[in-house]
Amino acid sequence: MTDRLRIALQKKGRLADDSFALLKKCGLRFAIRGGGLLARVKNMPIDLLLVRDDDIPSFVANDAADIGIVGENVLVEEQLTSQDELNANITMRLGFSRCKLSLAAADTGKVQSVTDLNGTRIATTYPGVLGQYLRDNNIKAKLVEMKGAVELAPSIGIAESICDLVSSGATLEANGLTAFKTILESEAVLIQSGRELSAAKAALLDKLMRRIDGVIKSAETKYIMLNAPKDKVKAITELLPGSDSPTIIPLAGSDDLVALQAVCTENIFWETLEDLKALGARAILVLPIEKMMS
């Protein structure tokens, strides 16, 4: 392999756009065009390998890529179904593409909960994760393995329930199905094999991970500025989520008011702003933070 760090990413689909956006926010400059398998990052020694998400864990495990971004659900499924032990593990959670792998069935059918599953058929594209769940819970059911359109299985009569990915639940609802049990919660993750990287690649990966961390943190972090009565500063600070020591600045021409500025590590909701106002805070501004490095 070259000394360019190679990152396996989903080419197209629910993970792809957010993965590209994350890397762009980390300062990588690249363009994704048409059918190419490899995209070069212009300003860093990094190549992007653009593939189907199911292939990402094995590409990382087999050294076709140094790292990859994939749904945890796909990683766990590959770990459970691969012939040999899969050499790919989570290095970092990325917080996007959140979804659940859930069991669901028709409201009118005979399966309404986990205890009804014995002796029934369950359609899924996740035989590994589902098989493990059934074994762990001592449930004897038949797996009907499908490649897609799992939500149609009950209505065409090939299974009594399904085990599929759910985010909003709209697809289930449109097919008259209701989820009754979550067996795995998933988000996008950065994965890596146990192999050692060259010193140059390791340093680059380290830098990339620090930037990713900064991007994730800054997405949740806000800068708040407000004017407050001096005697309410303590109460107001206590209301600010995840801020330890705010900056207090005197206000010209005012003895009883000060300006308060703080970094809040959690989102600030309208309710908090209303509570701040009730304590006497005025001219409240909440600003996004573009980049962070600590």
Interface residues with ligand ATP (CB under 6 A) are 10, 13-15, 52-54, 71, 73-74, 97, 99, 165, 167, 186
Closest to 23 measured CA to CA, from 45, 3, 48, 4? 48
> Which of 49-57, 84-92, 137-145, 174-182 is the region at the interface with Mg ion (rule: CB under 5 A)?
49-57
**Cβ atoms of 8 and 49 closer than 8 Å:** yes
Please provide residue 112's backbone torsions phi and psi, each rounded to the nearest 5 degrees.
Answer: -120, -15
* Shortest spacing between CB 68 and Mg ion, in angstroms: 13
Contact call for residue 164 and Mg ion (CB under 5 A):
no
* Shortest spacing between CB 103 and ligand ATP, in angstroms: 15
7 binds, among Mg ion, ligand ATP, none (CB under 5 to 8 A by kind): none
> Which of 23-31, 54-62, 171-179, 263-271 is the region at the interface with Mg ion (rule: CB under 5 A)?
54-62
Q: Which is nearer to Mg ion, 53 or 66 (CB)?
A: 53
Q: How far is CA 288 from CA 42, 44, 168, 267, in A?
A: 28, 27, 27, 10
Q: Which is nearer to ligand ATP, 57 or 214 (CB)?
A: 57
* Shortest spacing between CB 54 and Mg ion, in angstroms: 4
Q: How far is CA 241 from CA 186, 234, 266, 292, in A?
A: 26, 13, 6, 17
* Shortest spacing between CB 78 and Mg ion, in angstroms: 11
**Cβ atoms of 65 and 4 closer than 8 Å:** no
Site size toward Mg ion (CB under 5 A) is 2
Q: Which is nearer to ligand ATP, 3 or 173 (CB)?
A: 173
* Shortest spacing between CB 8 and ligand ATP, in angstroms: 11
| Strand pairing category for 161-166 and 142-145 | unpaired
Q: How far is CA 182 from CA 45, 105, 141, in A?
A: 41, 13, 17
Instruction: Mention every residue, 6+ apart, whose C-beta is less than 8 A from residue 22.
Output: 69, 94, 96, 212, 215
Binder to Mg ion among 17, 54, 116, 275 (CB under 5 A)?
54
Q: Which is nearer to ligand ATP, 71 or 246 (CB)?
A: 71
Closest to 162 measured CA to CA, from 172, 186, 133? 172
- Name the token pair of 270: 């309208």
Q: Which is nearer to Mg ion, 53 or 164 (CB)?
A: 53
* Shortest spacing between CB 187 and Mg ion, in angstroms: 16
Contact call for residue 53 and Mg ion (CB under 5 A):
yes
* Shortest spacing between CB 50 and ligand ATP, in angstroms: 10
User: If DSSP codes are grouped into helix, strand and coil, which group holds residue 291?
Assistant: coil
Q: How far apart are CA 166 and CA 180, in angstroms?
A: 12
Helix or strand holding residue 47 (H, E): strand 46-51
Position 157: which residue type? Answer: G
Q: Using CB atoms, what's the residue nearest to ligand ATP?
A: 71
Q: Which is nearer to ligand ATP, 52 or 140 (CB)?
A: 52
Q: Which is nearer to Mg ion, 5 or 51 (CB)?
A: 51
125 binds, among ligand ATP, Mg ion, none (CB under 5 to 8 A by kind): none
Q: Which residue shows structure tokens 């009883």?
A: 256
Interface with Mg ion by CB under 5 A: which residues?
A: 53-54
